Structure 1
Amino acid sequence: MLIAANHVLDFNGVADAFGHISIRNPNNNATFFLSKNQAPALVSAAVDIIEYHVANGSSLDPNAAAGYAERFIHSETLKRFPDVNCVIHAHSQALVPYSLVHNVDLEPAYAVAGFLGETVPNFDIEKYYNNSHPHDMLVNNNFLGAALASYFTTPATNNTKSTSPDHTFVLMRGHGFTTLDVDIETAIYRAVYAQSNANVQSQAIALTQSGGIFHGGVKYLSSRERVDSGTFNQASAGKPWPYWVKQTEANPLYKNELGSPV
């Protein structure tokens, strides 16, 4: 299933050559699986998958292939939230602008993105560098991974080290985003439709600035609509999964030696 998930993220334009998705080991919640350091579209076999310790992001196999430098996004998020099983990090160009502009927030613009909730936190890594860190925007150690993971909770619950996330989605300034959930299908739903929502929101903002037919700004989902649409999103998140998998299986770019997950 993890192989297919990599393909779906690539097919939908969410993950480029550098995006990645992890899944907690269903037989051992202290480890997780993540592909080796290669483009998601090219993940094709069991040998492309590495098992890591949740506790520190180290590989169980000392001879494993080179892994992603940002695997600590996954290890620290899975460590912080024991009910979370899947983490996605990618660099969607539709979403990155919303991490850069201080007076324009990413908002749920239509029903499939109610899961974004009332606010979308924006992680600014510059606040967390120390003198020994290269300022390369990468979450490439446990400290930075833990800092990012903390953005999935509100300040109130952050003080109590809540073990459940308050937010489903975090932007990363000048970098991309991270999202999470209990399973692959729901996490991918969020990644795909957050990107789609960003495109819709950007188009709506452009209309308000065009001097054309729509004046007075963009009307986003109300607070109640965000809650109720988010509930619907959660319940229906598995619906697109088999459709997306079949799309990738029909494309010769994507190979899966383990067979179809649907």
Structure 2
Amino acid sequence: MSDGLDGLRRDVALGCRVMAHRGLVENILGHISVRIEGGRALVRSRGPRERGLQFTVPDDVRVVDLDTGEIADDPAGDYAVPSELPIHTSVLAAHPDVECVVHAHPPDVVVASLAGFALEPIFGAYDIPAAHLAAAGIPVHPRSVLIRTDELAAEMVASLGDASALVLQGHGVVTTGAEVADAVLRALQVDTLARMHLRVRAAGATPEAIPENDLAELPDLGSAFNRETLWRHHLAALEQDGRGLS
């Protein structure tokens, strides 16, 4: 990933585009934040010519004070923070080890949560990081509300606990990571789990977690494969479809 504010703005913009490209968000919904020094974060905000996440550019990513929730680098007042900014401020405050927070609305995750399906590790080698994520447990926040206050965000953080992914009942998903790629890829893993649960049930079967000994055999292929290579794939797919930033 990139260094410096300009590089991080680009990372956030690309992360938003990847989420839209992979169907995790629709139109103008969803956002990403990245912690920076000085009690601030870069946050995907909405500008005067908002076109949606698939068209996010670095200028849409603004510096936000985590204490006040105000944009610090927009003297003209052209940009607005997301209404659910408390998702980001609360998670970053509660988890000093987290650098990036993603909020997205994957339709399959929403459907699975409404149906009451727990996202179990029903596959193994098909998607090893997703299997490990499910095995660790993906909690569900039971309230289908717009998380726009500190009080509602505190409830959400309590539901998240020490997990790196949280399903919001009838709403979407929150994921965390050390970098943009980590959090976005984790959101994609939750989406894969939900999609496969729904497909198994559509085929007339009941999804079941794979045996513990199969889980134990799943190797950690390393960040070079699970993150760097996979992230390059998603960025290349953006470029191929004419949705990249270059």
TM-score by length of 2: 0.80
Q: CA RMSD in A?
A: 2.4
Note closer, same or farther for the CA distance 1:105–1:233 as it changes in structure 2 (3 Å cut). farther
Residue among 185, 189, 192 paired with 1:193 = 189
1:142 is aligned with what amino acid?
A: D
Per the alignment, residue 250 of structure 1 pairs with: 240
Residue 181 (1) aligns with residue 180 (2)? no
Shift of 1:240: 0.9
Note closer, same or farther for the CA distance 1:175–1:34 as it changes in structure 2 (3 Å cut). same
Residue among 108, 116, 121 paired with 1:108 = 121
**For residues 217 and 34 of structure 2, what CA distance do their matches in structure 1 show?**
27
Per the alignment, residue 53 of structure 1 pairs with: 65
Q: Taking every aligned residue pair, what percent have the same amino acid on both sides?
A: 22
Shift of 1:228: 6.8
Kindly indicate whether the alpha-carbon contact (under 8 Å) linking 2:176 and 2:183 is maintained by their aligned counterparts in 1: yes
Note closer, same or farther for the CA distance 1:67–1:208 as it changes in structure 2 (3 Å cut). same
Residue 44 (1) aligns with residue 57 (2)? yes
**For residues 106 and 75 of structure 1, what CA distance do their matches in structure 2 show?**
26
Note closer, same or farther for the CA distance 1:56–1:231 as it changes in structure 2 (3 Å cut). farther
Task: Write out per-residue CA displacement over residues 34-69 of structure 1, whole angstroms, 9 at most, x where no aligned residue.
Answer: 112242112123x21111122343322463512210
Per the alignment, residue 158 of structure 1 pairs with: none
Higher helix share: 2
Correspondence 1:27-42 to 2 at 5 A: 28=37, 30-37=39-46, 38=50, 39-42=52-55
**For residues 246 and 148 of structure 1, what CA distance do their matches in structure 2 show?**
34
Residue 13 (1) aligns with residue 14 (2)? no
Residue 80 (1) aligns with residue 94 (2)? yes
Kindly indicate whether the alpha-carbon contact (under 8 Å) linking 2:106 and 2:191 is maintained by their aligned counterparts in 1: yes
Kindly indicate whether the alpha-carbon contact (under 8 Å) linking 1:56 and 1:72 is maintained by their aligned counterparts in 2: no
Residue 138 (1) aligns with residue 146 (2)? yes
Query: How many equivalent pairs are there?
Result: 223
1:24 is aligned with what amino acid?
A: R
Note closer, same or farther for the CA distance 1:30–1:107 as it changes in structure 2 (3 Å cut). same
Query: For structure 2, which runs of at least 5 residues remain unmatched after alignment?
Result: 1-10
Kindly indicate whether the alpha-carbon contact (under 8 Å) linking 1:11 and 1:248 is maintained by their aligned counterparts in 2: yes
**For residues 72 and 100 of structure 2, what CA distance do their matches in structure 1 show?**
19
Structure 2 residue matching 1:67: 3-state secondary structure:
coil
1:190 is aligned with what amino acid?
A: R
Kindly indicate whether the alpha-carbon contact (under 8 Å) linking 2:25 and 2:106 is maintained by their aligned counterparts in 1: yes
Note closer, same or farther for the CA distance 1:222–1:233 as it changes in structure 2 (3 Å cut). farther
Kindly indicate whether the alpha-carbon contact (under 8 Å) linking 2:235 and 2:244 is maintained by their aligned counterparts in 1: no
Per the alignment, residue 239 of structure 1 pairs with: 229
Kindly indicate whether the alpha-carbon contact (under 8 Å) linking 1:115 and 1:231 is maintained by their aligned counterparts in 2: no
Shift of 1:86: 0.9
Structure 1 residue matching 2:185: 3-state secondary structure:
helix
**For residues 180 and 3 of structure 1, what CA distance do their matches in structure 2 show?**
17
Residue among 185, 195, 210 paired with 1:221 = 210
Structure 2 residue matching 1:117: 3-state secondary structure:
helix
